[in-house]
Chain A
Amino acid sequence: MGGLMVNAALLRQVLVGFLREEVHKVGVRKAVLGLSGGIDSALVAFLAAEALGPDNVHAIIMPYRTSNPESEAHARLVAEQLGINHEVIEITPMVDAYFTRFPDADNMRRGNKMARERMTILYDHSAALGALVLGTSNKTELLLGYGTLYGDMASALNPIGDIYKTQVWQLSETMGVPRQIIEKKPSADLWAGQTDEQELGFTYREVDELLYCMIDLRMNRLELLARGFVADFIDTVSGKVQNSHFKRRLPVIAKVSNRTIDRDFRYSRDWGK
């Protein structure tokens, strides 16, 4: 576990500075984020409140009728503890209206629709409030592709996308995220009884160890086996990382000109800031 533990105070300083500078340099003061009641969005809310001041953070709680009521309660708890602006916008009417035409849609389709519905609401509020949308996907989820493209994976800025779930837990402890949120089982809460670890088939702590060795330390398969990781586990996780890579890239553009966006027309996003 050694390599995954971090100096939480230093991490906090870097991430708070990141949010403050990257928000302000765009010329806005505010941020908006979806609060799910889970630990990732709670941590981002804590970081944003510290970086921008509670008055400049707008949280939107977006339950669906089958969402666990505890999620909304936990989201409110975070918002109230931080003193940030918050409101509840139910997504049931819009999601149900759509699926009356597709009653046979499975959980996956419904879950993705919900995630994208939430993101349209966040981007609408981004325009209404003059605020940037903060992303709340952590490095574990991003690497495994465990998220919805243009749904929860969308954002203007993501302060936690380079830290693993294990590190999210660690930082959350030191920042004062409520205990009950840190201790509950991670869940996308897209359908009743869903938990991330059950759906993925392994625990975050296990996979974080593997991802850290594989991605950050660049160990090859033989080295990972020598480390004691089981072959099937290595292959499953490698497969997920590889097969979800499309979610971490811009859409593919057919090249016909001399300077194609992103391929040979290259500028930092912070150009001129």
Chain B
Amino acid sequence: MDFTVALAQIKPKLGCVADNCLMVRQAVERGIDEKADLVVFPELALTGYFLKDLVPDVALRLDAPEINALRELSRHISIAVGLVEVSADYRFFNTSLYLEGGEVRHVHRKVYLPTYGLFDEQRYLARGEHFRAFDSRFGRMGLLICEDMWHLSAPYILAMDGATTVICLSSSPGRGLTEDDSLGSTIAWQKLTSTTAMFFNCRVLYCNRVGYEDGVNFWGGSEVVAPSGAVTSRARILEEDFLVAGVDEGALRRERIFSPMMRDESLLITLSELRRIERERGR
């Protein structure tokens, strides 16, 4: 079905869950006012990014009142939002939730926790173990969190699991200034979202945050990418924004007819070759 998505390109406050929840609720209300069907937030929208030792202090159980409040709001608008989740056995995850119709429809725990360059996630967080597509009122979807998308296997698994929409929640730092019109990280991400959409004939809804933490900037530029790889709508760079855009069912249908790569993809060949590689690597 056709639907309207709002990408809430917010600027969370580092470690201030109450303030960020308020900011998120206000953006949800705005999405409802602007007749959006789905509102997407960045990675770790409820907490900020460079948390380090704050991780245990800002973590929420999935039955926390903050999440219940959003769950209630999801009766009016579907919500994808990022937070730190604490499990019953006290593991802490970089998690994204998909809330719809008053329930938590899907939980994705970030699998690929980067530790290179300025990143240090695996030091503080436990690794998620699944990529799973799920059904929403807009069709089958998958959630990815930032670095997940840099591993081609992640959207591949989602696509093979039937996802036609990939939602990526991101906190991508801006870096790599050259003579180009964009930062290096911006250019790389724009190639990535577009290529992912093209490879898997799926839509990509990419929401990246803005603001600065300890001098690191987050560049924003949230975007809606059509299954052809064409960017249909893009938010401002380096500034807060609230992008409301239509997502067209027809474009997906036509692309899937025009480029039936997902139809032709052989799961069996992939599986047998991956098993062989795993066997041979073990030697």
Measured CB to CB, the residues of A under 8 A from B are 2-3, 5-7, 10-11, 13-14, 17-18, 21-22, 25, 157, 265-273
Chain B window 75-86, contacts with chain A (Cβ cutoff 8 Å), 1 for yes, 0 for no = 000000000000
> How many residue pairs between the two chains, A and B, have CB atoms under 8 Å in the bound complex?
62
DSSP class of B's interface residues: helix, strand, loop or mixed? loop
User: How distant is the Cα of A17 from the Cα of B214 in the complex, in angstroms?
Assistant: 13
Closest B residue, CB atoms, query A5: B179
Q: Are B214 and A269 in contact (CB under 8 A)?
A: yes
Closest B residue, CB atoms, query A19: B212
Q: Are B215 and A22 in contact (CB under 8 A)?
A: yes
Closest A residue, CB atoms, query B182: A10
Q: Are B177 and A14 in contact (CB under 8 A)?
A: yes
Q: Are A267 and B212 in contact (CB under 8 A)?
A: no
Q: Are B215 and A271 in contact (CB under 8 A)?
A: no
Chain B window 207-242, contacts with chain A (Cβ cutoff 8 Å), 1 for yes, 0 for no = 000011111010000000000000000000010000
User: How distant is the Cα of A266 from the Cα of B177 in the complex, in angstroms?
Assistant: 28
Q: Are B238 and A270 in contact (CB under 8 A)?
A: no
Which residues of chain B have C-beta atoms less than 8 A from A269's C-beta? 214
Q: Are A270 and B179 in contact (CB under 8 A)?
A: no
Q: Which of B14, B181, B182 has the most CB of A within 10 A?
A: B14
Instruction: Give the B interface residue count (CB, 8 A).
Output: 24
Q: Are B14 and A272 in contact (CB under 8 A)?
A: yes
Q: Are A270 and B214 in contact (CB under 8 A)?
A: yes
Q: Nearest Cβ distance between residue B173 and chain A, in whole angstroms?
A: 11
10 contacts between A and B (CB under 8 A): A3-B178, A5-B178, A7-B177, A7-B181, A14-B238, A17-B212, A265-B53, A268-B213, A271-B14, A272-B16
B15 at the interface (CB under 8 A from A): yes
Q: Which of A2, A11, A17, A268 has the most CB of B within 10 A?
A: A268
Measured CB to CB, the residues of B under 8 A from A are 13-16, 50-54, 174, 177-183, 211-215, 217, 238
Which of B16, B52, B179, B180 is close to A268, meaning CB atoms less than 8 Å apart?
Answer: B52
Q: Are A18 and B215 in contact (CB under 8 A)?
A: yes
Q: Are A18 and B53 in contact (CB under 8 A)?
A: no
Q: Are A18 and B179 in contact (CB under 8 A)?
A: no
Which residues of chain A have C-beta atoms less than 8 A from B53's C-beta? 265-267
Q: Are B217 and A18 in contact (CB under 8 A)?
A: yes
Q: Are A18 and B54 in contact (CB under 8 A)?
A: no
Q: Are B238 and A6 in contact (CB under 8 A)?
A: no
Which residues of chain B have C-beta atoms less than 8 A from A21's C-beta? 211-212
Q: Are B14 and A7 in contact (CB under 8 A)?
A: no
Tell whether A18 pairs with B212 under 8 Å between CB atoms, given A271-B54, A273-B14. yes
Which of A7, A13, A22 is close to B212, meaning CB atoms less than 8 Å apart?
Answer: A22
User: How distant is the Cα of A2 from the Cα of B179 in the complex, in angstroms?
Assistant: 8
Q: Which 6 A/B pairs are nearest by Cβ-Cβ distance?
A: A266-B52, A268-B50, A21-B212, A268-B214, A270-B14, A6-B177
Which residues of chain B have C-beta atoms less than 8 A from A22's C-beta? 212, 215
Which residues of chain B have C-beta atoms less than 8 A from A18's C-beta? 212, 215, 217
Q: Nearest Cβ distance between residue B172 and chain A, in whole angstroms?
A: 14
Which residues of chain A have C-beta atoms less than 8 A from B178's C-beta? 3, 5-7
Q: Which of B52, B181, B213 has the most CB of A within 10 A?
A: B213
Which residues of chain A have C-beta atoms less than 8 A from B238's C-beta? 13-14, 17
Closest B residue, CB atoms, query A21: B212
User: How distant is the Cα of A273 from the Cα of B211 in the complex, in angstroms?
Assistant: 11
User: How distant is the Cα of A266 from the Cα of B214 in the complex, in angstroms?
Assistant: 13
Closest B residue, CB atoms, query A14: B217
Q: Nearest Cβ distance between residue B74 and chain A, in whole angstroms?
A: 29
